[in-house]
Structure formats: C-alpha cells, structure tokens
Amino acid sequence: MAQANDTKTGRKPEPLVISRIFSAPRALVFTAWSTADHMRRWFCPEHFTVPHATVDFRVGGVCEICMRAPDGQEFRSKGHYIEIVPAERLVFATGLVGENDAPRFTALTTVTFEDAAGGTRMTVHQAYEIFDDSALGAIEGAPEGWRTTLDRLEQEVARIQSVETRSVVHAIFTLERTYDAAPAQVFHALTDKAAKARWFGGGDGYVVLERAMDVRPGGRERVKGRWASGTVSTFDAVYYDVVPNARIVYAYEMSLDDRKISVSLATLELNPVGEKTRLVVTEQGAFLDGYDDAGSREHGTGFLLDRLGASLKG
C-alpha cells in the first residue's frame, strides 16, 4: 500500500484565519465543539447538512464528520484530537477522504477562545496539505464556507444558551370570528383533512412537508412545513374533547427546527347566530426557555381564522 507521502502534490495553500465574536461566555462557545450532537447542528456550510458525526472529545480521540451537499453528494473527513484545553484552545487534525479512505487533503485546525467585549472572540487557524489536486476547489472555497459555518455556530450557541436558561412565560388570548356559514360547515373546515389544508398553513414561501389529521378524542394532528427562511416549524396536537358542530378542545406543541418553543391548550366553541356561526378561540400558552412570543401567536391565529373564513366562501 502506498504511503500518503507518495501521493502528495506538493501544493501548500495559504493557511486560513477567521475570527468571530460571540455573545456568550468562552465555556459555552467551547461546549459547541465538544459533542457529536452539537457538531451535527452546525459544523457545515450553508445549505449543507451533517447526517453522521463521531466525536470522542479527548486527546487522541476520533473526529469524523460527514457533510452532505444539497445535491446529495457526501464529503467525509476523518481525524483525531491533538490538544484540548477547555475554554481556551482546541487543536485537531482531519483529512478529507475519498474512495477507500484515500486522503485528498489534510487540515490542521487550531481554535482559540479569548475574552472579548460582550463575549468571546473565537479564532480558527487552518493549515492544509494537498494529496489530490481535485480537492483544491474545496480549499479555495474555505473562507466563505467557514463564514457560513460560523453563522450556524452562532445559532447553536444561542440554542445552548436558551436551553441552559430554563424559563416559562404564560399567555392567554381569545379571538372571535363570525362566518356566513352554518356550524356544520365550520366544523367540517376545522376537522376534515382536505378542508383544513386549504387554510391551515403559512403564507407565501411556506411549503408543507408533512400533514396528518385524526380528529377524535385521543386522535392526533401534525403539520410540518418549511418557511422561506429555511426554518422548519412543526405543529403536534392531541385532541381531548370533540363535540360535533359545537366544541373542540386540544393541546399542541410548536417547534422551530429542533427547538420546542411552546405548549398550548386551545378551545374552539361554535355558536349558531341565526344562519351564521360565531367561532370563539381561546388559547392558553406556555412559552419555553427564553422564546419571546411578543404577541405573534395571537396574530398568527387571527391570520389563520381569516383564511378559514375565506375558505368557507370558496
């Protein structure tokens, strides 16, 4: 078997140096590097994902990352940790590998963490050694790749901060709408999967990824969709009380990406007003771990009720 030195091209690109200030303590920023769970959330450029990661966070421990491009192509790196000084310094060597784990290039990465005004200055220094000239394109794109990767790291640091700062904020609101339709029609629009799909969702740029619905005591409903920003929201509900044409009571939780932001109890009352229906919606919400609703749930519910009304006219 040929040794790595037998295939070197002799090309040594300039090292990369990039810094970012994070509004968080050094120990917290350092934590984001320390587990596979954290690394899967952020250690890849924009539009890429990390479907697999192995992190044995100790000197000599392995660090293996698989990045998946939007077209499905995967890029695998394998390496090990050389130096770990908590909240101060991290050094590891990794190599991008091809078929049969043949090295394409290696990168020696040094990450330092320093106190800075408002938080932590983190600096990444990366030096490269080329074994396969086809890998030069990846290295040339490293500055931009690291810039968007650090954007994702900022999001992960914020997520860790929110988890470490547990809190619950309660809120309640009631909304009313009167529809030019009989209670049976409104009840159908609230409980039939196809009818509800016409109004229960986001606006422009929102794409439904999953929808399931079973309206009965003990039944569940789930709607998952991606917004234009790339954020994925998930609505998971359990029905507790269903009185045809009169009342629906359910509890639901909302998540943004992998973060649960709230748990709510919703009561929908359908009251006949002549040939029309007055719908009264009351929600009691628990907003979790620093999530600031700022009235957006009430506003969003009003938006959906207006869409419900429009669907009844169709």
What pLDDT does 1 receive? 27
- Please list the alpha-helical segments (H only) found in the chain: 26-31, 36-42, 136-140, 142-164, 183-191, 193-197, 296-313
Structure tokens at 191: 């409980």
pTM of the model: 0.53
Residue 140: per-residue pLDDT: 84
pLDDT for position 57: 95
Domain ranges of the chain: 4-164, 168-313
SS3 track for 22-49: ECCCHHHHHHCCCCHHHHHHHCCCCCCE
Q: Residues with Cβ < 8 Å from 310, sequence gap 6 or more?
A: 199
- 89-97 and 103-116 strand pairing: antiparallel
Superfamily of domain 4-164 in CATH is START domain (3.30.530.20)
Which two structure tokens, joined as six digits, stand for 73?
């192509």
- Tens-digit pLDDT string for the chain (314 aa): 233 334 455 567 889 999 999 999 999 999 999 999 899 999 999 999 999 899 999 999 999 999 999 998 888 899 999 999 999 999 999 988 877 777 788 899 999 999 988 799 999 999 988 887 777 777 788 899 999 999 999 999 988 887 766 789 999 999 999 999 999 999 999 999 999 999 998 877 889 999 999 999 999 999 999 887 778 899 999 999 999 999 999 999 999 887 889 999 999 999 999 999 999 999 999 998 777 777 889 999 999 999 999 999 97
Q: In the CATH scheme, what is the homologous superfamily, with its name and number, of domain 168-313?
A: START domain (3.30.530.20)
Fold match between domain 4-164 and domain 168-313 = yes
